[in-house]
Amino acid sequence: MLSVEQFITLGAIMFCIGLFGALTKRNIIIVLVSVELMLNAVNINLLAFARYGLMPSMNGQIFTLFAMTIAAAELAVGLAILISLYRNRNTSDVRDQDLMKW
């Protein structure tokens, strides 16, 4: 049986890896994957606190379901923006996407 400390440690490690990827990588796809990794780390912590918290209940699982839905919508919108930018500028480098005009 895993303890709450192990879940929190796993979530913190995953969040740090995602934060590092989002801040240091230049490819937009890697940045989107890093943001998804950070959201999954939050989901792990929500589920851990729902299971091992002071008052265990379904609230953490419900919040996790909402967070997964938001993550899926964020990924769909992000990929649509990425495809549009790539078609117009032929690059997926974050540094080249600094202007909003086409």
For the record, the structure tokens of 25 come out as 């990588």
CA of 42: how far to CAs of 33, 57, 91, 100, in Å? Answer: 14, 17, 31, 31
Per-residue pLDDT of the chain (102 residues; tens, 9 = 90+): 888 899 999 999 999 999 999 999 888 888 889 999 999 999 898 888 888 877 777 777 888 888 889 888 988 998 888 888 788 778 777 777 666 665
Tell me if residue 55 falls in helix, strand or coil: coil
Residue 40 near residue 14 (C-beta atoms within 8 A): yes
Distance (Å, whole) CA 67 – CA 96: 30
pTM: 0.77
Q: Angle at the Cα of 62 (from 58 to 64), degrees rounded to 5?
A: 120
